[in-house]
Amino acid sequence: MKQEQKLALQIAIDGPAGAGKSTLAKLVAKQLNLFYVDTGAMYRAIAYKVLKNGILLEDELSVSQIAKTTEVILDHSEKQNVWCDGENVTLAIRSPEISRAVSIVAAYVGVRERLVELQRQEAARGGVVMDGRDIGTQVLPEANLKIFLTATPQERARRRWLEFVKAGKNVRLEEVAQDMQKRDRQDTEREVSPLEPAEDAVILDTTGCSVERMAAKIIALTQEDGR
């Protein structure tokens, strides 16, 4: 009798900005030898191209058309580079300007439909750890494990501010906190794929917890219930 083939492991990690999604997802993917897919970087790449081409963020039709014709490629190597139409935009998409623009871009139906399609194609390549804001609810609703990360607003703002400082960006912590509050409202109140945990997601608070400890928790969860 032919043995049934085991499906590739899919882990969906969602949560608001600064909750630690990317850092944690990268570590879990590395330890489990899975692909890491940063869906937020894909949306940031679209926002980058929109601003680069001088398109108004409020022009939904033009923004959606940009998304449909833009090639976004994620480097699955250890460097985790992001390429937008052949340009390495890994550092450029982490600016405060892109952070402010991405929620507007990500709210458009045309943009989300195109990127969800690309994200599912990434998942079809093999086992993945994918992080974002609607992975468990929209992109990979059949994922083996769904995680929703949280942290206090103060902790999330501090983490994002430290990222900017490390990247040489001159930005005040108060400004980052205000931008993050606005981003939270946009993400949770948008009509298309709002930020919310899947019904079967495991809620994890990362406040004051090391990434190594959180990764160990998630890896332990993959071994439960035959995942």
pLDDT, mean of residues 215-227: 84
Angle at 74 between CA 115 and CA 30, to 5 degrees: 115
Residue 188 to residue 62: CA distance in whole angstroms: 24
Share of the chain above pLDDT 90, in %: 72
Q: Is the pTM of this model over 0.85?
A: no
What integer pLDDT is reported at residue 7 of this predicted model? 62
What integer pLDDT is reported at residue 31 of this predicted model? 95
pLDDT tens digits, 112-157 = 999 999 899 888 888 999 999 999 999 999 999 999 999 999 999 9
Predicted confidence (pLDDT) at residue 158 exceeds the cutoff of 70:
yes
Sequence-ordered strand ranges (E) for the chain: 10-14, 35-38, 72-74, 82-84, 87-88, 128-132, 145-150, 202-205
C-alpha distance across the termini of the chain, in Å: 23
Residue 128 to residue 29: CA distance in whole angstroms: 7
Domain ranges for the chain, please list them: 10-219
DSSP letters, 5-19, are PPPPPEEEEE--TTS
CB 72 within 8 A of CB 83: yes
Q: Determine the residue type at 67.
A: A
Angle of the 109-123 helix axis to the 39-52 helix axis, nearest 10: 140
**Contacts of 192 by beta carbon, 8 Å cutoff, 6+ apart:** 107, 108, 109, 112
Assign 54 to helix, strand or coil. Answer: coil
Architecture of domain 10-219: 3-Layer(aba) Sandwich (3.40)
- Backbone φ and ψ of 72, nearest 5°: -115, 120
CB 19 within 8 A of CB 156: yes
According to DSSP, the residues that pair with 36 across neighbouring strands are 129
- Backbone φ and ψ of 12, nearest 5°: -105, 125
